[in-house]
Every structure is written in structure tokens, then in C-alpha cells.
């Protein structure tokens, strides 16, 4: 979560700098890529966590009890 928050803050700051003419579009695009990668990493972590929970429920026989 920290990585995503940092990436969002960095991108938002860079967007303001770009709009003010202090940085190039290339710098903004690089930070946009970093933000996308941070979002993807968070999604992957969530997927792995939910898959682990599902595997645990399946292994313990509680998968169908919660439905």
C-alpha cells in the first residue's frame, strides 16, 4: 500500500509540475508507468491473497460452508 500511495503522490506532483512547464511529458509518462506498475503489484498481491484464502478454505473443507 505504501508503494502505491508514494506512486500516486509522485504522479500528482509531477502532473502539477508538467502543467506548470517545469518537467517534460517524458518525465510525466515515466511516473505514469511507475504508478501503473504499483497498481498492478497491488492487484497481484490481492489476487494471491484471495487465492490463498480460497486454498485454505478448500483444504480445510470450509469452502462450501460460507456459500
* 29-to-4, 12, 16, 33, 40 alpha-carbon distances in Å: 16, 12, 13, 6, 16
Whether residue 67 lies inside any domain: the answer is no
| Domain range for 13 | 2-60
Whether residue 16 lies inside any domain: the answer is yes
> Given pLDDT bands bounded at 50, 70 and 90, which one contains residue 66?
low
Whether residue 56 lies inside any domain: the answer is yes
Three cell numbers written together for 64: 462450501
CA pair distance 40, 67, nearest whole angstrom: 29
Digit-coded pLDDT (tens) for 4-50: 999 999 999 999 999 999 999 999 999 999 999 999 999 999 999 99
Question: Which pTM does this prediction carry?
Answer: 0.77
Residue given cell 502543467 in the structure block: 19
| Closest-CA residue to 5 (of 32, 49, 39) | 39
Whether residue 65 lies inside any domain: the answer is no
Whether residue 53 lies inside any domain: the answer is yes
Whether residue 37 lies inside any domain: the answer is yes
> Given pLDDT bands bounded at 50, 70 and 90, which one contains residue 1?
low
Number of structural domains (the chain) is 1
Whether residue 7 lies inside any domain: the answer is yes
Amino acid at each position: 500500500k505504501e508503494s502505491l500511495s508514494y506512486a500516486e503522490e509522485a504522479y500528482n506532483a509531477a502532473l502539477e509540475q508538467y502543467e506548470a512547464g517545469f518537467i517534460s511529458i517524458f518525465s510525466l509518462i515515466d511516473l505514469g508507468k511507475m504508478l501503473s506498475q504499483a497498481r498492478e503489484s497491488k492487484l497481484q498481491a490481492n489476487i494471491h491473497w484471495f487465492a490463498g484464502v480460497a486454498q485454505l478454505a478448500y483444504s480445510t473443507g470450509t469452502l462450501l460452508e460460507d456459500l
